[in-house]
A and B are shown apart, each in its own frame.
Chain A
Amino acid sequence: GAVVSQHPSWVICKSGTSVKIECRSLDFQATTMFWYRQFPKQSLMLMATSNEGSKATYEQGVEKDKFLINHASLTLSTLTVTSAHPEDSSFYICSARNPGQGASKSNQPQHFGDGTRLSIL
């Protein structure tokens, strides 16, 4: 079945560092990928929708300059947390929709990566 790979699984770095997280669809081409953020014991909140070949669409309250998204190919989207601070520490998880599954865009399950635990010291 379809698989989404997310790398790294976890990262610990100093405040002020920029961190890049990769999300790859392994056996399908994903024109749309999603980036979510999850604080401990809380729900997943959509940060942005990553569109291949165009600018990402950010949710209200998400800083575009803080969370840079690049979707340069049909199998790869990256999220860069720039100048990370302790409050950016969180679980980041991506998902990708397989356009080959089903006739409707909405009734396909999104395939999730395993997530990235980011800790900023």
Chain B
Amino acid sequence: AQKVTQAQTEISVVEKEDVTLDCVYETRDTTYYLFWYKQPPSGELVFLIRRNSFDEQNEISGRYSWNFQKSTSSFNFTITASQVVDSAVYFCALSEAQIGTASKLTFGTGTRLQVTL
């Protein structure tokens, strides 16, 4: 069984602050994939990143960065210099990689980020 835990239900920051969203996962597979999605108030899911379990390199994309620590089963997401437009619910998700499975996504409960002026 796989599980994704996002312990932070809601986070509120002032614009330009840095913020880190935590994600801890559980899986029995040695090969798996981790994702982050953004869900703005309009409801659609916006894909942010995919990381496979063999690639522990941290990644930076503009103001976004991700820290994958396999030893602690964590895949944290940091937004640098947050902006009001970053306000949304952010979901961490896990997909196992067994051949022949449907590779469905297991989502965490989400972290609601509120960025204010």
State the A residues within 8 Å of B (CB).
Answer: 32, 34, 41-46, 49, 51, 57, 91, 93, 95, 97, 104-107, 109-115, 117
Contacts and interface: CB of A to CB of B under 8 A. Distances in A.
Given A104-B97, A107-B33, A57 B91 contact: no
Given A105-B99, A106-B33, A44 B47 contact: no
Contacts of A44: 45, 91, 105, 107
B91 A43 contact: yes
Contact of A107 (B44, B50, B99, B105): B50
B103 interface: yes
A65 B87 CA distance: 38
Given A57-B102, A117-B43, A107 B108 contact: no
Nearest to B99: A105
B82 interface: no
B97 A106 contact: yes
Interface residues of B, number: 29
Contacts of A43: 91, 107-110
Contact of A112 (B45, B109, B110): B45
Nearest to A97: B103
Interface of B: 31-33, 35, 37, 42-45, 47, 50, 52, 91, 95-99, 101-110, 112
A42 B109 contact: yes
A32 B45 CA distance: 18
A107 B109 contact: no
A95 B39 CA distance: 14
13 contacts: A32-B102, A43-B91, A44-B91, A46-B104, A46-B105, A51-B102, A93-B45, A105-B97, A105-B101, A106-B95, A109-B35, A111-B47, A114-B43
Given A97-B103, A106-B98, A109-B35, 19 more contacts: A43-B91, A45-B107, A46-B104, A49-B104, A93-B43, A95-B105, A104-B97, A105-B99, A105-B102, A106-B31, A107-B50, A107-B52, A112-B37, A112-B44, A112-B45, A112-B47, A113-B44, A115-B44, A117-B43
B47 A106 contact: no
A97 B32 CA distance: 16
